[in-house]
Structure 1
């Protein structure tokens, strides 16, 4: 289907919560296409904003960031408040900017490995799982290493946490849609 049709399905699923934006998690393994899908949805849905878990977790921990996401972003969003959140490591390491969710946003898309984890389920209105052929994900990860976005040791340490985490969480079982992250950009393919 086209992105417009999928966006309509997303909006129908998450609904219109009273006094706050809907919250959608876009979850999946590393290099599955989560960021791409989240960006395409945000471009298609007026008033949608993307929050990347990688920004929340920056220099904090690979997957141990639930309290930061809930306290810094999801709780204020649920109160209908604008968000301008600086995770603690941003101040410690001099990172500029903030995680922003403007007042009046329609949809907050939380994107990243673990975005739909059990610990935040009560804060979410829907989950999309992005699955990709392992060979394609491996090529994408290799390209990131080659481009210097990460190095082999950091990647291997990440995978040592991600693989058992994803296997334990089984987030795809709670998702209302499972999307093929290897489909051509003009298409959304549901699995």
Structure 2
């Protein structure tokens, strides 16, 4: 069953076709028809899902594979909401073992919900001499947690909305390798390719077990299909279930 197909039948939105030939995570269904709206309408939809929690910020998780477009979407969302804060998962899990940090994220989001703010120095920062802290000031209306695994199953009760960014293998790999070479974070070109193949293998193992698209409130195309203009977003309501 594709539970999203009927939900795209809304005359407020233009529709464009996706493609079923896209290479995704194991058992992740390809979206075959996207609804298209301006970013303002998309943001309004997300905010309608989270409401206005009392005494704490609303929390939206932007999840997706590396190179999917999560950071770009997060920047657009935080820019649209005055006072919104971006929480980059890569900062929290810096130097943590790959996909062995779920309790750290649970504890951090629990603290954020209870205190309404955050000023955290992760243990690995202290161990490796990284300065500063992860800060979410009091009174922030919205926190966007972005990163691979940001909406993992363990935090389902701690987030107010969950976005899954769907992007094909080839696009994500090309973006990730290009970005790493440009920033010089994983060595030279050959080392960057080797890192990304290792990274993508780890993603597949993680996502095969976690299947975040099956819990997502919204699915977003991380690689705009034909017919989507600058400033527009292709998306559908979630979750995305097996056919």
TM bucket normalised to smaller: over 0.9
Partners of 1:138 and 1:81 in 2: how far apart? 36
Counterpart among 26, 35, 49 of residue 62 in structure 2: 26
Q: Deviations over 1:26-57 (max 9, x none)?
A: 00111000011011100111121111111111
Residue 188 of structure 1 is matched in structure 2 by 233
Runs of 4+ in 1 over 3 A off after TM superposition: none
Counterpart among 155, 172, 175 of residue 137 in structure 1: 172
- Residues 106 and 154, structure 2, Cα contact 8 Å, conserved in 1: no
Residue 52 of structure 1 is matched in structure 2 by 88
Q: Larger Cα Rg: Structure 1 or Structure 2? A: 2
Partners of 1:127 and 1:82 in 2: how far apart? 20
Alignment root-mean-square deviation, CA: 1.6
Report the number of matched residues.
190
Indicate yes or no: 2:110 matched with 1:75.
yes
Q: Deviations over 1:135-162 (max 9, x none)?
A: 2212102203432232334333322221
Structure 2: where are the runs of 5+ without partners?
A: 1-36, 187-191, 237-243
Which has the larger helix fraction? 1
TM-score (norm 2): 0.73
- Residues 145 and 152, structure 1, Cα contact 8 Å, conserved in 2: no
Indicate yes or no: 2:225 matched with 1:178.
no
- Residues 56 and 65, structure 1, Cα contact 8 Å, conserved in 2: no
TM-score (norm 1): 0.92
Partners of 2:98 and 2:122 in 1: how far apart? 14
Offset at residue 108 of structure 1 (A):
1.1
- Residues 7 and 44, structure 1, Cα contact 8 Å, conserved in 2: yes
- Residues 24 and 126, structure 1, Cα contact 8 Å, conserved in 2: yes
Partners of 1:123 and 1:51 in 2: how far apart? 14
